[in-house]
Amino acid sequence: MISWRYHVVSIVAVVLAFGLGVVAGTSVVNDELVKRLQLNNDRSTQQRDEAQAELAVHERAAQDLQSVLRDGVLAGRSGIVVTMEGVDQPARRAVDELAAAGVDVLASLEITRRFAEPDADDVPALQRVLGTSSADPDTLRERAVDAFAIRLAVGSDGGSGDVLTAMLDEGLVTTDRDLDRAALQSLGGVGQPIVLAAGGTPAQDLPGPGAVLLPVTDRLVELGAPVAAVAPREDGYGFVSQVRDAGGIPDCSLVTVDDLDLSLGGIALAMGLDRLLDDPDPAFRPGGDYGVGGDRMVPGGEPPASCRT
């Protein structure tokens, strides 16, 4: 696809430029070799610029299609975005794209380091939330993942012992807005789409999505929740790739989008969730992998054979 071509030629240009500098700095310089390297570098730079210009054309075309293929597609739906501490940009983009599609985004929940990678100081908080005396951080994290996923997939029972409220009170999870009791109880529930977002440059000294966001995704899919996993093209975390490669997550059981930073990625998210929620063909699981590394850029056409139920 265009974006991969752009990345490849950019890398080639950098490598050639570096090689040119090394050769030019030696005491014995082969002029012909330097000329060839310079020519190759100029050619790679030109190809990169052409690919970038072509991408801009496609991006403008996708922007023109947003009003038809994205805007209002999910009107009347409410949903949640979930991300990790230190990974805020993809979550904000997911909120914006969902809102444009007509979704009432109830909150963006951020799983903190204390949840994802608990140390001895975090154990008491997890014990209080989970009502357990276990002191093993790994065991507590696994139980917290399960409790968090169940709460989002099933919703609140309306009681005073809401695990999500407890996690928020203990600082294990944070939100992008103030939520009163009624708003908290509205978070999660059967049929409410949940978009998990990560990507960009990994934050220093913070755990990646593999620590907890991937297990949460796996458990939500197992519980039958409508789930999407999204990331921009530049994804140092490899979150979407991890989800697609996870052995316990069946193909097409959720929507994945690996180019959410492009207009076409927002279109794919809206159309993909619409298809996932309506399930137009019971013979196939209604999810799909979209984007530069997916099966296709947007939903449409015959699903891959791996989607067959």
- For the chain, which residues make up each domain, given as ranges? 2-66, 75-307
Question: Measuring CA to CA, how many Å separate 115 from each of 3, 138, 165, 168, 247?
Answer: 35, 10, 14, 11, 24
Between CA 154 and CA 162 the distance in angstroms is 12
Closest residue by Cα to residue 304 from 289, 291, 292: 289
How confident is the model at residue 52, as a pLDDT? 64
Q: What percent of the chain stands above pLDDT 90?
A: 65
pLDDT-derived band of residue 1, with 50, 70 and 90 as boundaries? very low
Backbone angles phi, psi at 35, to 5 degrees: -65, -40
Listed in sequence order, the residues at least 6 apart from 300 whose beta carbon sits closer than 8 Å to its beta carbon are 271
pLDDT digit string, tens, across residues 7-43: 544 544 444 444 445 445 554 456 777 788 778 877 7
Q: pLDDT tens digits, residue range 109-127? A: 999 999 999 999 999 999 9
Cβ neighbours of 147 (radius 10 Å): 19
In whole angstroms, what separates CA 71 from the centre of its chain? 20
Please give the C-alpha separations between residue 104 and each of 97, 261, 306, in angstroms, as whole numbers.
Answer: 11, 21, 32
The number of C-alpha atoms within 13 Å of 292 and in the hemisphere containing its C-beta is 19
Residue entry with tokens 């009791």: 181
**For the ranges 180-184, 192-196, 251-255, which has the lowest average pLDDT?**
180-184
Q: What percentage of the chain exceeds 70 in pLDDT?
A: 85
Using a 10 angstrom Cβ sphere, with 0-12 exposed, 13-18 middle and 19 or more buried, the burial of residue 55 is middle
Query: Average of pLDDT values for 129-149?
Result: 96
Residue 83: beta bridge partners? 110
pLDDT (0 to 100) of residue 214? 95
- Flag whether pLDDT at 234 surpasses 60: yes
DSSP state of 23: H
Nearest to 84 by CA among 251, 249, 217, 220: 217
CATH topology of domain 75-307: Rossmann fold (3.40.50)
Instruction: Could you list the beta-strand ranges (E) of the chain.
Output: 78-84, 104-111, 173-175, 194-197, 227-230, 255-257, 288-290
137-154 and 213-222 helices cross at what angle (nearest 10)?
50
Length of the chain: 309
Please determine, for residue 210, whether its predicted confidence score (pLDDT) is greater than 60.
yes
| pLDDT tens per residue, range 59-106 | 676 777 788 899 999 999 999 999 999 888 999 999 999 999 999 999
What is the residue-averaged pLDDT of the chain? Answer: 87
pLDDT in tens, 257-277: 999 999 999 999 999 999 999
- Give the pLDDT band (50/70/90) at residue 200: confident
